[in-house]
Amino acid sequence: MNKVCVIGVGPGDDAFIAPAARQKVAECDLILGSERLTRLFDKPSQPLQLRGNPPQSIQFILANRDRARIGVLVSGDPGLYSFMGTLSRFLGRDDYEVVPGISAVQLAFARAKETWENAFILSLHGRARDDLDAVVKRHAKLAVLTDDRWSPGALARYLLERGLKDREFIVCQDLSYPGERIWRGDVRSAAAEVFGEGALSVVLVIDRKR
């Protein structure tokens, strides 16, 4: 039976797609992913929106992997908050392979010129975090993936209300896209700043005193 291949395609711009990812896409018979990801490649794609309906996506993959080499495109790196986590619960380790990609978190640290071997990575996408202030206090360096509810401004105001005003706050928006923006300041100034609505953001929160 064919192995399913989970392919990381980077943060968005096709310049960040690794050659190994392009090669694997070329080898696959069927490429699945969101419209934003499949249009990065000149290859027909089954119109299956993975993010919109995970159960349907899993069912389709399991039903068709014996007849076709299926490639599943995920943004960033498959090992960081991607569809791979869901897919791995339905496939054995020998039933799929993974091609890594450049994550938005990795690119954010590069743009900020910061090391990240000691960073704590946290996603707020669709999540409630009642302990967020405690998490920030525990770690000297965090990378936070935000969403519409937890926007960079909302995160800054949350931290300001809890007395965490002295952290450095670096907002990396729409990384690799033409409208990319890197904003650097502290929590207090970030709380008053206007950040773009709907922009994809990674926020770096750094305690320089540690």
Tell which residue, 133, 138, 105, 137, has the closest CA to residue 121. Answer: 105
Which pLDDT belongs to residue 198?
66
Q: Indicate whether 128 pLDDT > 80.
A: no
- The predicted model gives 133-144 an average pLDDT of 96
Q: How confident is the model at residue 54 (pLDDT cuts 50, 70, 90)?
A: confident
| Chain position carrying tokens 């978190």 | 105
Tens digits of residue pLDDT in 56-108 = 889 999 999 999 999 999 999 999 999 999 999 999 999 999 999 999 999 99
Q: List domains and CATH numbers for the chain.
A: 4-102 (3.40.1010.10), 105-206 (3.30.950.10)
- CA torsion, ordered 151, 156, 158, 160, to nearest 10 deg: -170
pLDDT tens per residue across span 9-32? 999 999 999 999 999 999 999 999
